[in-house]
Structure 1
Amino acid sequence: MAIAKIKHIFKKYPILANSVVYGTLYTGAEFSQQTYTKKIAANPSEDYDVKGLARFSLFGSTIGANVLYQWYRWLDGKYVGTATLTIVKKMALDQFVLTPPLIASFYLFMSIMEQKQDVFEECRNKLLPTFMTSCVFWLPAQGINFLFIPPAARVVYVGSCAFIWVNVICWFKRQDYSKTKED
Protein backbone atom coordinates (compact mmCIF):
# COMPACT_ATOMS: atom_id res chain seq x y z
CA MET A 1 0.00 0.00 0.00
CA ALA A 2 2.75 2.49 0.92
CA ILE A 3 4.76 1.65 -2.19
CA ALA A 4 1.70 2.27 -4.37
CA LYS A 5 1.21 5.69 -2.75
CA ILE A 6 4.86 6.58 -3.25
CA LYS A 7 4.67 5.54 -6.92
CA HIS A 8 1.53 7.63 -7.31
CA ILE A 9 3.23 10.71 -5.80
CA PHE A 10 6.28 10.29 -8.03
CA LYS A 11 4.06 9.89 -11.10
CA LYS A 12 1.79 12.83 -10.25
CA TYR A 13 4.46 15.20 -8.85
CA PRO A 14 7.79 13.95 -10.23
CA ILE A 15 9.77 17.17 -9.89
CA LEU A 16 8.58 17.89 -6.36
CA ALA A 17 9.06 14.29 -5.20
CA ASN A 18 12.52 14.03 -6.70
CA SER A 19 13.48 17.43 -5.26
CA VAL A 20 12.46 16.38 -1.76
CA VAL A 21 14.24 13.03 -1.98
CA TYR A 22 17.40 14.33 -3.66
CA GLY A 23 17.60 17.35 -1.34
CA THR A 24 17.19 15.12 1.69
CA LEU A 25 19.87 12.71 0.50
CA TYR A 26 22.25 15.57 -0.27
CA THR A 27 21.68 17.09 3.17
CA GLY A 28 22.02 13.67 4.79
CA ALA A 29 25.36 13.10 3.13
CA GLU A 30 26.69 16.46 4.31
CA PHE A 31 25.31 15.71 7.79
CA SER A 32 27.14 12.37 7.84
CA GLN A 33 30.36 14.11 6.72
CA GLN A 34 30.00 16.73 9.42
CA THR A 35 29.28 14.04 11.99
CA TYR A 36 32.47 12.27 11.06
CA THR A 37 34.71 15.32 10.69
CA LYS A 38 33.33 17.32 13.63
CA LYS A 39 32.03 14.78 16.12
CA ILE A 40 34.11 11.66 15.61
CA ALA A 41 37.47 12.69 14.14
CA ALA A 42 37.74 16.10 15.81
CA ASN A 43 36.10 17.72 18.80
CA PRO A 44 32.76 16.12 19.82
CA SER A 45 31.58 19.43 21.27
CA GLU A 46 31.98 21.26 17.94
CA ASP A 47 28.65 22.41 16.55
CA TYR A 48 27.24 21.36 13.22
CA ASP A 49 27.57 23.86 10.39
CA VAL A 50 23.87 24.53 9.87
CA LYS A 51 24.52 27.03 7.08
CA GLY A 52 26.60 24.39 5.31
CA LEU A 53 23.76 21.90 5.64
CA ALA A 54 21.38 24.50 4.22
CA ARG A 55 23.67 25.13 1.23
CA PHE A 56 23.81 21.41 0.43
CA SER A 57 20.05 21.11 0.89
CA LEU A 58 19.41 24.04 -1.41
CA PHE A 59 21.75 22.77 -4.12
CA GLY A 60 20.42 19.20 -3.91
CA SER A 61 16.74 20.10 -3.92
CA THR A 62 16.88 22.77 -6.60
CA ILE A 63 19.76 22.54 -9.05
CA GLY A 64 20.76 18.89 -8.60
CA ALA A 65 17.31 17.31 -8.62
CA ASN A 66 15.86 19.44 -11.40
CA VAL A 67 18.83 19.19 -13.74
CA LEU A 68 18.94 15.41 -13.26
CA TYR A 69 15.18 15.00 -13.71
CA GLN A 70 15.19 16.89 -17.00
CA TRP A 71 18.44 15.23 -18.13
CA TYR A 72 17.22 11.67 -17.59
CA ARG A 73 13.89 12.47 -19.15
CA TRP A 74 15.68 13.69 -22.26
CA LEU A 75 18.27 10.88 -22.21
CA ASP A 76 15.63 8.15 -21.83
CA GLY A 77 13.54 9.68 -24.62
CA LYS A 78 16.50 9.99 -26.98
CA TYR A 79 18.12 6.61 -26.24
CA VAL A 80 15.46 4.00 -25.60
CA GLY A 81 16.21 0.46 -24.49
CA THR A 82 18.93 -1.55 -22.81
CA ALA A 83 21.02 -2.62 -25.80
CA THR A 84 24.73 -2.44 -25.03
CA LEU A 85 25.39 0.40 -27.48
CA THR A 86 22.47 2.39 -26.06
CA ILE A 87 23.76 1.93 -22.49
CA VAL A 88 27.30 2.95 -23.52
CA LYS A 89 25.96 6.08 -25.24
CA LYS A 90 23.93 7.02 -22.16
CA MET A 91 26.88 6.43 -19.84
CA ALA A 92 29.27 8.44 -22.04
CA LEU A 93 26.85 11.33 -22.40
CA ASP A 94 26.05 11.30 -18.71
CA GLN A 95 29.69 11.24 -17.61
CA PHE A 96 31.28 13.47 -20.21
CA VAL A 97 28.50 15.92 -21.13
CA LEU A 98 26.46 16.37 -17.93
CA THR A 99 28.98 15.70 -15.17
CA PRO A 100 31.61 18.42 -15.76
CA PRO A 101 29.09 21.30 -15.79
CA LEU A 102 27.21 19.76 -12.85
CA ILE A 103 30.40 19.55 -10.76
CA ALA A 104 31.35 23.07 -11.82
CA SER A 105 27.89 24.35 -10.87
CA PHE A 106 28.26 22.67 -7.47
CA TYR A 107 31.55 24.44 -6.70
CA LEU A 108 30.34 27.76 -8.12
CA PHE A 109 27.03 27.57 -6.24
CA MET A 110 28.78 26.76 -2.98
CA SER A 111 31.34 29.53 -3.47
CA ILE A 112 28.61 32.07 -4.22
CA MET A 113 26.59 30.93 -1.19
CA GLU A 114 29.73 31.11 0.95
CA GLN A 115 30.34 34.62 -0.41
CA LYS A 116 33.89 33.82 -1.44
CA GLN A 117 35.89 36.62 -3.00
CA ASP A 118 36.93 34.49 -6.00
CA VAL A 119 33.95 32.27 -6.74
CA PHE A 120 35.87 30.44 -9.48
CA GLU A 121 38.96 29.47 -7.44
CA GLU A 122 37.59 26.32 -5.85
CA CYS A 123 36.15 25.17 -9.17
CA ARG A 124 39.48 25.74 -10.94
CA ASN A 125 41.38 23.80 -8.27
CA LYS A 126 38.97 20.93 -7.65
CA LEU A 127 37.07 20.30 -10.88
CA LEU A 128 39.60 17.93 -12.48
CA PRO A 129 40.32 15.72 -9.42
CA THR A 130 36.59 15.61 -8.60
CA PHE A 131 35.72 14.70 -12.21
CA MET A 132 38.35 11.94 -12.37
CA THR A 133 37.01 10.43 -9.14
CA SER A 134 33.47 10.74 -10.45
CA CYS A 135 34.43 8.61 -13.47
CA VAL A 136 35.53 5.79 -11.16
CA PHE A 137 32.34 6.06 -9.10
CA TRP A 138 29.64 7.06 -11.55
CA LEU A 139 30.43 4.98 -14.64
CA PRO A 140 29.65 1.67 -12.86
CA ALA A 141 26.74 3.26 -10.96
CA GLN A 142 25.25 4.54 -14.21
CA GLY A 143 25.74 1.18 -15.89
CA ILE A 144 23.49 -0.30 -13.20
CA ASN A 145 21.13 2.65 -13.54
CA PHE A 146 20.62 2.33 -17.28
CA LEU A 147 20.51 -1.48 -17.28
CA PHE A 148 18.29 -2.24 -14.29
CA ILE A 149 16.52 0.86 -12.92
CA PRO A 150 13.15 1.85 -14.42
CA PRO A 151 13.03 5.42 -15.79
CA ALA A 152 10.59 6.64 -13.12
CA ALA A 153 13.06 5.67 -10.40
CA ARG A 154 16.26 7.00 -11.99
CA VAL A 155 16.54 10.24 -9.99
CA VAL A 156 15.86 8.38 -6.74
CA TYR A 157 18.49 5.75 -7.59
CA VAL A 158 20.96 8.46 -8.56
CA GLY A 159 20.01 10.28 -5.36
CA SER A 160 20.84 7.16 -3.36
CA CYS A 161 24.18 6.91 -5.13
CA ALA A 162 24.54 10.63 -4.55
CA PHE A 163 24.41 10.01 -0.80
CA ILE A 164 27.69 8.15 -1.24
CA TRP A 165 28.98 10.54 -3.89
CA VAL A 166 28.19 13.66 -1.84
CA ASN A 167 30.24 12.20 0.98
CA VAL A 168 33.08 12.00 -1.56
CA ILE A 169 32.48 15.52 -2.86
CA CYS A 170 32.26 16.82 0.73
CA TRP A 171 35.69 15.34 1.26
CA PHE A 172 36.95 17.13 -1.87
CA LYS A 173 35.30 20.35 -0.68
CA ARG A 174 37.26 20.15 2.58
CA GLN A 175 40.60 19.58 0.84
CA ASP A 176 42.99 22.39 0.06
CA TYR A 177 43.89 22.18 -3.62
CA SER A 178 44.93 25.79 -3.87
CA LYS A 179 48.15 26.47 -5.66
CA THR A 180 50.70 28.34 -3.62
CA LYS A 181 51.71 31.59 -5.21
CA GLU A 182 55.40 32.22 -5.58
CA ASP A 183 56.44 35.69 -4.51
Structure 2
Amino acid sequence: MAGWWRALPRAVQRYPWPTNVLLYAALYSSGDALQQRLRGGPADWRQTRRVAALAVTFHGNFNYVWMRVLERALPGRAPRTILAKVVCDQAFAAPVGISAFYTGMSILQEKDDIFLDLKQKFWNTYKTGLMYWPFVQLTNFSFVPLHWRTAYTGVCAFIWATFMCYSQQTGDGTLQSMISSLWVLMAETAKRPPEK
Protein backbone atom coordinates (compact mmCIF):
# COMPACT_ATOMS: atom_id res chain seq x y z
CA MET A 1 0.00 0.00 0.00
CA ALA A 2 2.76 2.45 0.88
CA GLY A 3 4.43 1.87 -2.51
CA TRP A 4 1.19 2.64 -4.32
CA TRP A 5 0.73 5.82 -2.28
CA ARG A 6 4.27 6.98 -3.14
CA ALA A 7 3.73 6.22 -6.84
CA LEU A 8 0.49 8.23 -7.03
CA PRO A 9 2.10 11.70 -7.45
CA ARG A 10 4.24 10.39 -10.33
CA ALA A 11 1.20 8.79 -11.96
CA VAL A 12 -0.80 12.01 -11.72
CA GLN A 13 2.02 13.99 -13.33
CA ARG A 14 2.84 11.37 -15.96
CA TYR A 15 -0.74 10.30 -16.81
CA PRO A 16 -2.87 13.18 -15.52
CA TRP A 17 -6.10 12.46 -17.39
CA PRO A 18 -6.68 8.76 -16.58
CA THR A 19 -5.29 8.97 -13.05
CA ASN A 20 -7.45 11.96 -12.13
CA VAL A 21 -10.58 10.49 -13.73
CA LEU A 22 -10.15 7.09 -12.06
CA LEU A 23 -9.46 8.66 -8.65
CA TYR A 24 -12.53 10.86 -9.06
CA ALA A 25 -14.72 7.91 -10.06
CA ALA A 26 -13.50 5.74 -7.18
CA LEU A 27 -14.19 8.46 -4.63
CA TYR A 28 -17.56 9.40 -6.14
CA SER A 29 -18.83 5.81 -6.19
CA SER A 30 -17.56 5.35 -2.63
CA GLY A 31 -19.95 8.15 -1.68
CA ASP A 32 -22.82 5.98 -2.92
CA ALA A 33 -21.58 3.03 -0.87
CA LEU A 34 -21.39 5.27 2.21
CA GLN A 35 -24.93 6.64 1.80
CA GLN A 36 -26.24 3.07 1.48
CA ARG A 37 -24.41 2.16 4.68
CA LEU A 38 -25.78 5.25 6.46
CA ARG A 39 -29.32 4.38 5.40
CA GLY A 40 -28.86 0.97 7.02
CA GLY A 41 -30.05 -1.18 4.14
CA PRO A 42 -28.23 -4.00 2.41
CA ALA A 43 -25.49 -3.03 -0.03
CA ASP A 44 -26.78 -2.52 -3.57
CA TRP A 45 -23.65 -3.02 -5.66
CA ARG A 46 -25.58 -2.61 -8.92
CA GLN A 47 -26.45 0.91 -7.82
CA THR A 48 -22.84 1.63 -6.87
CA ARG A 49 -21.69 0.33 -10.27
CA ARG A 50 -24.16 2.69 -11.96
CA VAL A 51 -22.75 5.61 -9.99
CA ALA A 52 -19.19 4.52 -10.85
CA ALA A 53 -20.10 4.22 -14.54
CA LEU A 54 -21.56 7.71 -14.55
CA ALA A 55 -18.57 9.10 -12.64
CA VAL A 56 -15.99 7.53 -14.95
CA THR A 57 -17.81 8.23 -18.23
CA PHE A 58 -19.02 11.75 -17.50
CA HIS A 59 -18.28 13.43 -14.18
CA GLY A 60 -14.56 12.66 -13.94
CA ASN A 61 -13.91 13.57 -17.58
CA PHE A 62 -16.08 16.68 -17.45
CA ASN A 63 -14.31 17.82 -14.30
CA TYR A 64 -10.88 17.20 -15.80
CA VAL A 65 -11.65 19.17 -18.97
CA TRP A 66 -13.54 21.91 -17.10
CA MET A 67 -10.61 22.60 -14.75
CA ARG A 68 -8.28 23.05 -17.70
CA VAL A 69 -10.70 25.21 -19.71
CA LEU A 70 -11.27 27.41 -16.68
CA GLU A 71 -7.53 27.77 -16.03
CA ARG A 72 -6.90 28.64 -19.67
CA ALA A 73 -9.72 31.22 -19.70
CA LEU A 74 -8.83 32.71 -16.29
CA PRO A 75 -5.14 31.98 -15.60
CA GLY A 76 -3.49 32.71 -12.30
CA ARG A 77 -4.26 32.96 -8.60
CA ALA A 78 -5.04 36.62 -8.09
CA PRO A 79 -8.01 37.07 -5.74
CA ARG A 80 -10.26 38.49 -8.50
CA THR A 81 -9.33 35.63 -10.82
CA ILE A 82 -10.05 33.02 -8.16
CA LEU A 83 -13.41 34.62 -7.41
CA ALA A 84 -14.25 34.70 -11.14
CA LYS A 85 -13.38 30.99 -11.40
CA VAL A 86 -15.65 30.16 -8.46
CA VAL A 87 -18.53 32.16 -9.97
CA CYS A 88 -18.06 30.51 -13.38
CA ASP A 89 -17.87 27.09 -11.75
CA GLN A 90 -21.13 27.59 -9.89
CA ALA A 91 -22.91 29.26 -12.82
CA PHE A 92 -21.93 26.72 -15.50
CA ALA A 93 -20.36 23.52 -14.19
CA ALA A 94 -22.66 22.99 -11.19
CA PRO A 95 -25.91 22.93 -13.23
CA VAL A 96 -24.30 20.64 -15.82
CA GLY A 97 -23.05 18.23 -13.13
CA ILE A 98 -26.39 18.10 -11.29
CA SER A 99 -28.35 17.65 -14.52
CA ALA A 100 -26.00 14.93 -15.77
CA PHE A 101 -26.22 13.07 -12.46
CA TYR A 102 -30.01 12.95 -12.16
CA THR A 103 -30.60 12.29 -15.85
CA GLY A 104 -27.74 9.81 -16.16
CA MET A 105 -28.85 7.82 -13.13
CA SER A 106 -32.42 7.73 -14.45
CA ILE A 107 -31.16 6.40 -17.79
CA LEU A 108 -28.99 3.75 -16.09
CA GLN A 109 -31.92 2.72 -13.87
CA GLU A 110 -34.16 2.53 -16.97
CA LYS A 111 -36.81 4.85 -15.53
CA ASP A 112 -39.76 5.78 -17.72
CA ASP A 113 -39.33 9.53 -17.23
CA ILE A 114 -35.61 10.19 -17.25
CA PHE A 115 -36.12 13.87 -16.38
CA LEU A 116 -38.46 13.40 -13.39
CA ASP A 117 -35.73 13.46 -10.69
CA LEU A 118 -34.11 16.42 -12.42
CA LYS A 119 -37.37 18.38 -12.51
CA GLN A 120 -38.21 17.59 -8.90
CA LYS A 121 -34.79 17.96 -7.28
CA PHE A 122 -32.62 20.28 -9.39
CA TRP A 123 -33.25 23.60 -7.60
CA ASN A 124 -33.03 22.13 -4.10
CA THR A 125 -29.80 20.34 -5.02
CA TYR A 126 -28.33 23.43 -6.66
CA LYS A 127 -29.10 25.58 -3.60
CA THR A 128 -27.60 22.92 -1.32
CA GLY A 129 -24.50 22.83 -3.51
CA LEU A 130 -24.10 26.59 -3.11
CA MET A 131 -23.53 25.99 0.60
CA TYR A 132 -20.65 23.59 -0.15
CA TRP A 133 -18.97 23.94 -3.55
CA PRO A 134 -17.94 27.62 -3.54
CA PHE A 135 -15.80 26.97 -0.45
CA VAL A 136 -14.35 23.78 -1.96
CA GLN A 137 -13.49 25.51 -5.22
CA LEU A 138 -12.10 28.58 -3.48
CA THR A 139 -9.57 26.30 -1.80
CA ASN A 140 -9.04 24.33 -5.02
CA PHE A 141 -8.30 27.37 -7.19
CA SER A 142 -6.19 29.04 -4.48
CA PHE A 143 -3.89 26.24 -3.37
CA VAL A 144 -4.13 23.10 -5.53
CA PRO A 145 -1.88 22.70 -8.60
CA LEU A 146 -3.78 22.19 -11.85
CA HIS A 147 -2.67 18.57 -12.28
CA TRP A 148 -4.23 17.68 -8.86
CA ARG A 149 -7.47 19.69 -9.13
CA THR A 150 -9.70 16.91 -10.44
CA ALA A 151 -8.41 14.50 -7.79
CA TYR A 152 -8.98 17.12 -5.08
CA THR A 153 -12.47 17.74 -6.41
CA GLY A 154 -13.00 13.96 -6.25
CA VAL A 155 -12.07 13.93 -2.57
CA CYS A 156 -14.63 16.66 -1.94
CA ALA A 157 -17.10 14.98 -4.30
CA PHE A 158 -17.04 11.93 -2.00
CA ILE A 159 -19.07 13.96 0.49
CA TRP A 160 -21.20 15.49 -2.27
CA ALA A 161 -21.85 12.09 -3.88
CA THR A 162 -23.04 10.74 -0.54
CA PHE A 163 -25.61 13.54 -0.51
CA MET A 164 -26.47 13.28 -4.24
CA CYS A 165 -26.96 9.52 -4.15
CA TYR A 166 -29.15 9.81 -1.08
CA SER A 167 -31.19 12.55 -2.78
CA GLN A 168 -31.54 10.50 -5.94
CA GLN A 169 -32.67 7.42 -4.01
CA THR A 170 -34.99 8.83 -1.35
CA GLY A 171 -34.42 12.54 -0.75
CA ASP A 172 -35.74 15.74 -2.22
CA GLY A 173 -32.42 17.46 -2.94
CA THR A 174 -32.23 19.27 0.39
CA LEU A 175 -29.69 18.67 3.10
CA GLN A 176 -32.50 18.88 5.64
CA SER A 177 -34.21 15.77 4.21
CA MET A 178 -30.99 13.77 4.49
CA ILE A 179 -30.26 14.92 8.04
CA SER A 180 -33.86 14.26 9.13
CA SER A 181 -33.77 10.78 7.63
CA LEU A 182 -30.45 9.95 9.28
CA TRP A 183 -31.71 11.32 12.60
CA VAL A 184 -34.76 9.03 12.47
CA LEU A 185 -32.57 6.07 11.50
CA MET A 186 -30.19 6.73 14.41
CA ALA A 187 -33.14 6.99 16.83
CA GLU A 188 -34.55 3.68 15.57
CA THR A 189 -31.14 2.03 15.87
CA ALA A 190 -30.77 3.30 19.45
CA LYS A 191 -34.16 1.79 20.41
CA ARG A 192 -33.30 -1.68 19.11
CA PRO A 193 -32.10 -4.21 21.67
CA PRO A 194 -28.41 -5.10 21.33
CA GLU A 195 -27.65 -8.16 19.21
CA LYS A 196 -26.16 -11.18 20.93
- Structure 1 length as normaliser, TM-score? 0.87
2:137 is aligned with 1:142: yes
**Gaps in structure 1 of 5+ consecutive residues:** 40-46, 178-183
Query: Deviation above 4 Å: which 4+ runs of structure 1?
Result: 1-4
C-alpha distance 176-141 of structure 1, shift in aligned 2 (>3 A) = closer
Letter in 2 for 1:11: Q
2:44 is aligned with 1:49: yes
Q: 1:81 aligns with which of 71, 76, 80?
A: 76
Matched residues, number: 170
2:87 is aligned with 1:92: yes
**Gaps in structure 2 of 5+ consecutive residues:** 173-196
For residues 49 and 6 of structure 2, what CA distance do their matches in structure 1 show?
31
For residues 104 and 148 of structure 1, what CA distance do their matches in structure 2 show?
28
Match of 2:37 in 1: 35
Match of 1:71 in 2: 66
Tell me by how many angstroms 1:59 deviates: 1.1
The question of whether the paired residues in 1 share the 8 Å contact of 2:21 and 2:151 is answered with no
Could you say what the CA RMSD is over the residues aligned between the two structures, in angstroms? Answer: 1.5
Match of 2:124 in 1: 129
2:11 is aligned with 1:16: no
Moved more, 6-15 or 18-27: 6-15
- SS of corresponding position for 1:165: helix
Deviations 1:10-50 (A, max 9, x none): 122222111211111011111111111134xxxxxxx3111
For residues 133 and 171 of structure 1, what CA distance do their matches in structure 2 show?
13
- Structure 2 length as normaliser, TM-score? 0.82
For residues 8 and 70 of structure 1, what CA distance do their matches in structure 2 show?
20
